[in-house]
Amino acid sequence: MTTILGICGSLRGGSLNAALLRSAAQVIEDATLETGSIRGIPLYDGDVETSTGIPQAVADLKARMVASDGVLLVTPEYNNGIPGVFKNAIDWLSRPASDIRSVFGDRPVAVIGASPGGFGTILAQDAWLPVLRTLGMRPWFGGRLMASRAHTLFDASGDLTDAALRRQLTEFMRGFVAFVKARPAAPR
Ligand SMILES: Cc1cc2nc3c(=O)[nH]c(=O)nc-3n(C[C@H](O)[C@H](O)[C@H](O)COP(=O)(O)O)c2cc1C
């Protein structure tokens, strides 16, 4: 079975992006969407890396990346860019640099996001592109999904109530799964 690892870049209990990720896991077909978390990942500190190595939460998420066939980043947008907590997590995952190839290299990746604003994380999604290029990932550009006015698309429990977004998400995941299946990440 094709396994995609979804990572949400928000720590908030009521996160719209976490709700979007859960919805993606509900609509995905012919693949499993597992949920990875950035919770517990400390601020990157080179001194910590030198003295005590890679934190357990980072090592665990790296292992789940390596075991996946592809990765779905579900990104909030802060100040027209990538939220620091999310970028910080990916920065930790890229350590040591000698592991970048096995964790990120040629791994299929797609980016989606949700925001209460009118542009639905378009700038945060674009801001991920140079990061993905630097890490040698293989982005899927066959679809875009920016859930704008996202607070109106989910109910109080975080369940997706908007039929148009459900259709769009289903199509998006269908396209990404096909991309992953055509050439999954090479086993490491
Ligand atoms: C520091 C900060 C900056 C933000 N900047 C933006 C922004 O540039 N664009 C945007 O659409 N929303 C912005 N927002 C609103 C977030 O999109 C909103 O809080 C969203 O719910 C965060 O994602 P989450 O629900 O998954 O936690 C910002 C929120 C915070 C806390």
Closest atom of ligand 1 to 20 CA is 26
Closest atom of ligand 1 to 9 CA is 26
Nearest residue (by CA) to ligand 1, atom 31, is 78
Token couple for 130: 């140079």
Q: What residues are in contact with ligand 1 under a 6 Å CB criterion? A: 10, 12, 15-17, 76-80, 115-117, 119
Question: Each residue of 129-177: pLDDT tens digit?
Answer: 999 999 999 999 999 999 999 999 999 999 999 999 999 999 999 999 9
**Range 114-135 burial, b when 16+ CB lie within 10 A, else e:** bbeeeebbbbbbebbeebbeeb
Is the pTM of the predicted complex or chain greater than 0.85? Answer: yes
Closest atom of ligand 1 to 12 CA is 27
Distance of CA 51 from the midpoint of ligand 1 (Å): 35
Name the pLDDT band for 186 (thresholds 50, 70, 90): confident
Token couple for 32: 């499993």
Question: Each residue of 47-63: pLDDT tens digit?
Answer: 999 999 999 999 999 99
Q: What CA–CA distance (Å, rounded) separates 91 from 64?
A: 16
**Average pLDDT value for the chain:** 97
Whole-number pLDDT of residue 94: 98
Contact 1, 19 (CB under 8 A): no
Question: Each residue of 20-38: pLDDT tens digit?
Answer: 999 999 999 999 999 999 9
Closest atom of ligand 1 to 16 CA is 25
Distance of CA 47 from the midpoint of ligand 1 (Å): 31
